[in-house]
Amino acid sequence: MSERKERLKDEYTEHHVQHGRYGFSYRGNERGPVFAAWIGTGKRVLDLGCRDGSLANYYASGNTVTGVDIDQHALSLASERLSITTVWLDLNHEQLPFDDGSFDVVVAGELLEHLVEPGFVADEAYRVLAPGGIFIGSVPNSFHWRSRLAFLRGHSIEDATHLHCFSRPQILQLLQRYKDVELVPVGGIGGGMLPIVPAWFSQPLVRNLPTLLANDFIFRATKRYDQS
């Protein structure tokens, strides 16, 4: 276990350095405010895959946050930046080292697609949540039109560390144990070599055609009070 954990740590540290992931949060300006509004303040928050705290920065103030990640360097940055508790953990092979009902909120932002068994982590999140607590997070939409075109050309635009492709139905299936599941499609139209379509026009299109146009799906799900 130790050797495998060390190897995975080194792989992710190298990946984060090579791709400029420190100080960066994918669509953080869209996800961060939504997460912060859902979490509120005065909560015990477990942030899974927190990296250097770039996303947790939106909701750390006023809450007690525990950050978990495989990248120890990222954890040191998160601890220094936000003064949060951090835990070095391999979410692919280690159970969450927390008691049942320990947290009011569990966050998994851009994490589940990186895991061997995302369903196991979703169930672990359920276990450590207090009844009525919320599991919030986000996953990239693997069936965005850019991905479809790339596939037709024999290419992939998926991150090399992604182990799962998520669509809207697959996310709902993953969260079936929870109640009051809400999915919010986010993203815009254009960018790169294409002109950026103004948000006032693109956002209604993204909401109406999420599978085709959403870059990301944000989710919120509630743990049942009966814990079933």
Tens digits of per-residue pLDDT, 111-128?
999 999 999 999 999 999
- Flag the least confident range among 2-6, 88-92, 98-102: 2-6
Gap between the Cα atoms of 225 and 203, Å rounded? 35
Task: Look over the chain and give the mean of its residue pLDDT values, rounded to a whole number.
Answer: 91
Indicate whether 228 belongs to any domain. no
- The tally of domains found in the chain comes to 1
Gap between the Cα atoms of 60 and 27, Å rounded? 18
Indicate whether 27 belongs to any domain. yes
Bridge partners, residue 65, by sequence: 45
DSSP 139-157: EEBTTSHHHHHHHHTT---
Work out the end-to-end distance of the chain between its first and last CA atoms, rounded to an integer number of angstroms.
32
pLDDT of residue 227: 61
What are 44-59's pLDDT values in tens digits? 999 999 999 999 999 9
Q: Which domain holds residue 183?
A: 2-222
> Token pair 């947790």 is at which residue?
56
Assess whether pLDDT exceeds 60 at residue 228: no
What pTM was estimated for this model as a whole? Answer: 0.92
Assess whether pLDDT exceeds 90 at residue 26: no
Indicate whether 160 belongs to any domain. yes
193: DSSP letter:
T
Indicate whether 227 belongs to any domain. no
What CATH number does residue 39 fall under? 3.40.50.150
